Amino acid sequence: MSMYLRGSVYWIEFRDPDGNRVRESTGTSDREKAKSYHDLRQHQLTEGRERPGTWDDAVERWLRERTDKRSLDRDESMIRWLHPHFRRRIFATITDDEVRHVVELKKQETTASNANHYLKFIRALFNRSIEWKWLASSPVKMKPYRTSDKRIRFLSEAELARLLTELPHHLRMMAEFSVLTGLRMSNVTGLKWDRVDVSRRIAWVDSTEYKSGRNHGIPLGQRAIEILLGEQGCHPTYVFTYRGYPVQNANNTAWRSALSRAGITDFRWHDLRHTFASYHALNGTPLLTLKALGGWQSLSMVNRYAHLATEGTRQYVLEHVPGVPPTAVGACGNSVGESTHTPPTVSLPTRGEQRS
């Protein structure tokens, strides 16, 4: 099998199993990509496979073979984002450099952790193509970004109020419901009426749709009930809709524009779940109770919010240094007699009072 330039595009020439001469365009002027295509066709001839698979073929077959509903929804979302970058490309001509470039774009758009999910999907897709005998080996050599699991971004009450004011009505209802229930975006967009019992003030998510793989029940407060009642009659199946259709992805242009207008940065839709958990921790919800409310599998996931849970320890705070009489304060580092600074009078709320 030989490879040569015709104009600016590389072509390959070979003989099929019957001895007929065949010439094919690789569709690229990049020698490295053309060489990958050349090697693929050589491998396919050995295996008896004729047509080279494209990116479109690969993702279509991947989705067809998937049976796990939870990961399928996630895969479909990633494919929608990746598709413009690889659409109609001969699968074997996609290089590691191109994968790095696309994953870096996702990292700049969101976070390193989220970009790693896309890299993991791409690697899995290439590895599966080896099983399909489309490729002899995977070109993807990129390593995941190093990340920290300690990131917890949540909104202050003022930030949340600004964001809700800027969101269009349908996204505001979904965002409020997310903060009230702690549900992930896919569980909010996918919530169906047959999984809601307003009279019992409960909703639930099936194990096939919940990340932990377990059924998850969600107790509903008054505001959550009001939101659900406001959505009744809009769609026979799905709770949250826009112009009569289910919302597929709440992390859209309208969401990002609202964040910008509200002056909020470094915030993702998933951080509404962090906001839910942080508010509970700040209000003294026991961590085991929070674990059940949020549907986390392990207490270690909930312990990320433990530093906010001070209500249970407040009664043990030392009000003064034992055995040491208090001295004057506010000297700004000078001896008390030298200070001309008068500290402001601050009225601290007693336990149970609300700060204005």
| Residue 305: partners with Cβ closer than 8 Å, 6 or more residues away | 152, 277, 278, 280, 281, 287, 290
Reported as a single tens digit per residue, the pLDDT across 89-122 is 888 888 899 999 999 999 887 778 889 999 999 9
Q: Is 270 an annotated catalytic residue? A: yes
- Predicted local distance difference test score (pLDDT) of residue 329: 66
CA count, 13 A, side-chain hemisphere, 341: 12
Question: Rounded distance, CA 164 to CA 64, Å?
Answer: 39
Q: What is the pLDDT of residue 347?
A: 45
101 catalytic, yes or no? no
**Among 273, 274, 280, 291, the one annotated catalytic:** 273
> Catalytic pick from 192, 211, 268, 304?
211
pLDDT confidence tier of residue 125, bands split at 50, 70 and 90: very high
Residue 238 pLDDT > 80: yes
Is 274 catalytic? The answer is: no
- Going along the chain, which residue ranges are E strands? 2-6, 9-15, 21-25, 196-197, 202-205, 216-219, 241-242, 245-246
Q: Are 193 and 185 in contact (CB under 8 A)?
A: no
Model confidence at 12: pLDDT above 50: yes
**Annotated catalytic residue: which of 10, 37, 62, 305?**
305
184: annotated active-site residue: yes
Residue 151: pLDDT band (50, 70, 90) is low
Q: What mean pLDDT do residues 62-68 have?
A: 83
Q: Is the pTM higher than 0.85?
A: no
Q: Is 273 a catalytic residue?
A: yes
CB 6 within 8 A of CB 29: no
DSSP 8-state code for residue 106: H
Instruction: Please confirm, yes or no, whether 305 is among the known catalytic residues.
Output: yes
Active-site entry in 38, 41, 162, 184: 184
pLDDT, position 47: 64
